[in-house]
Amino acid sequence: MSTPRDSSRCDASAELGPALRTGFTTGACAAAAARAAARALLTGAPVPWIAIVLPNGQEARFAVSRYELEDGRARCGVVKDAGDDPDVTHGAEIVAEVSLSDRPGVELRGGQGVATVTRPGLGLDPGQPAINPVPRRNITEMVRVELEAAGRTGAVVTISVPEGERLAALTLNPRLGLVGGISILGTSGIVRPFSTAAWQVSVTQAIDVARAAGQAHLVLTTGGRTERFAMALLPDLPEQAFIQVGDDVGLGLRHAARRGAERATVVAMVGKLAKMAGGATQTHVSWSRVEAAVLGEVAGAAGAGRALAADIAGANTARHALELADAAGLDAFAPCLCRRAAEALAREAGAVLQVRAVLVDFEGAARAAFPPPAEAP
């Protein structure tokens, strides 16, 4: 549901259809708060609204949610409006504190609720605040504009998120070694509804962290439930090896290959695996005739007669198709499904990555795998 806009929220004006609004990234909100605080400090006047240039070159205007000026420091905040994207940071206030410095340049620090990097693989050195490179540049540029207008050259900027530590518990940050809060993210400044951009960033970062830790074998899962199942099936692997890719299995495989991983095990339930067997590497689509037809073909390859294959092809869901195969004693159905999915995923990953597909049932038991355990790399 869309949150009604008020004077404390970002002015995200672009729309996608009658109900979907774009929003702004945490990075854009941090840059706006920082520029507002710099202007307030240099002019001594309240700043109710602030305009910035986003990383993508567009201009955007933000409401300023707080104004505090004391002891040579100014604090301003911007409340993040993520539009209609399902983002846990929607409604969070991003605060910037600015003080002047005799040293030229803009020094950027992380305050309360901004995570600290503790592991390699994120493009930031351990010990640094989790403010990604593009937001860093945007914040610095916006503050520098205000400094130059006032004839000053140096400032210290501290970004904080008062609710950041609580919000971080709802993200993958703890798994990534990001401690104490959220990350300040964004490459364009814009959040597009249901684009899953933030999720995709977390997927690639999780792979980067795993590879930086020396993990050559990655386990890609479609969610928290399948991850728990996968961890039980592969107890010898460390937590970092398990990557929740959600619907973005293709993204995960391609990034794992680019980062030099040697093996990828994809663990999924029958619905997602059916989509993968049909060649879908972004599986956020509803049950369709395509997957049903694929399962009918799999049934035929597994030795089903024409009538059973037709029944499976006409199943209401992939789960129903598996139930029909089980009821008919078609034991080769699950292994054939894994084989077809593994072959499709291997084509997506390229020759550098060995791919294995594992089908788990709804209680977490492994129904089948391809290559089977005796042949697995």
| pLDDT band at residue 375 under the 50/70/90 scheme | low
Mean predicted confidence (pLDDT) in 196-213: 86
Instruction: Please return the burial class of 86, using the count of CB atoms within 10 Å of its CB with bins 0-12, 13-18 and 19+.
Output: exposed
Q: Give pLDDT, residue 199.
A: 74
Q: What is the DSSP string of 123-155?
A: SS-TTSBSB-HHHHHHHHHHHHHHHHHTT--EE
Paired with 155 in beta bridges are 100, 106
Burial 158-184 (b: 16+ CB within 10 A, else e): bbbbbbbbebbeebbbebbbbebbbbb
Average pLDDT of the segment spanning 315-319: 84
Residue-level pLDDT at 7? 32
Mean predicted confidence (pLDDT) in 335-350: 95
Which of 93-107, 159-173, 276-290, 362-376 has the weakest average pLDDT? 276-290
Q: What is the pLDDT, as a whole number, of residue 290?
A: 62
Residues ≥6 apart with Cβ < 8 Å to 218: 207, 210, 241, 242, 243, 252, 256, 261, 263, 264, 265
Q: How far is CA 151 from the centre of its chain?
A: 40
The domain ranges of the chain are 15-191, 197-370
Instruction: Supply the pLDDT for residue 359.
Output: 97
pLDDT given at position 289: 56
List the beta bridge partners of residue 50.
Answer: 62
Give the pLDDT band (50/70/90) at residue 323.
Answer: very high
Please report, to the nearest 10 degrees, the dihedral formed by the alpha carbons of residues 10, 11, 15, 19 taken in order.
60
pTM of the predicted model, to two decimals?
A: 0.71
Q: Please state, for a pLDDT cut of 70, what percent of the chain lies above it.
A: 90
In degrees and rounded to multiples of 5, residue 201 shows phi and psi of -60, -45
Instruction: Read off the DSSP letter of residue 92.
Output: P
- Cα separation, 204 vs 150, in Å, equals 41
Q: What confidence tens digit (pLDDT) does each residue in 127-150 have? A: 999 999 999 999 999 999 999 999
With a cut of 80, say whether residue 358 has pLDDT above it. yes
Give the whole-angstrom CA distance, residue 128 versus residue 139. Answer: 16
Report the length, in residues, of the chain: 377
pLDDT tens-digit readout, 153-204: 999 999 999 999 999 998 878 888 899 999 999 888 988 765 466 678 888 9
What does the pLDDT read at residue 20? 63
Q: Is the pLDDT reported for residue 17 higher than 70?
A: no
Is 3.30.2110.10 the CATH number for 15-191?
yes
Which conformational region is residue 11 in: left (phi greater than 0), alpha (psi within -120 to 50 degrees), or beta? beta
pLDDT at site 367: 96
Output the pLDDT for position 18: 43
Tell me the per-residue pLDDT of 73-113, one tens digit each, with 9 for 90 and over.
999 999 999 887 778 899 999 999 999 999 999 999 999 99
Q: What is the token pair recorded at 353?
A: 């990555």
Chain mean pLDDT for the chain = 89
Residue 9 — pLDDT band, cuts 50, 70, 90? very low
| CA–CA gap between residue 40 and residue 74 (Å, rounded) | 6
Rounded Cα distance, 93 and 78, in Å: 6
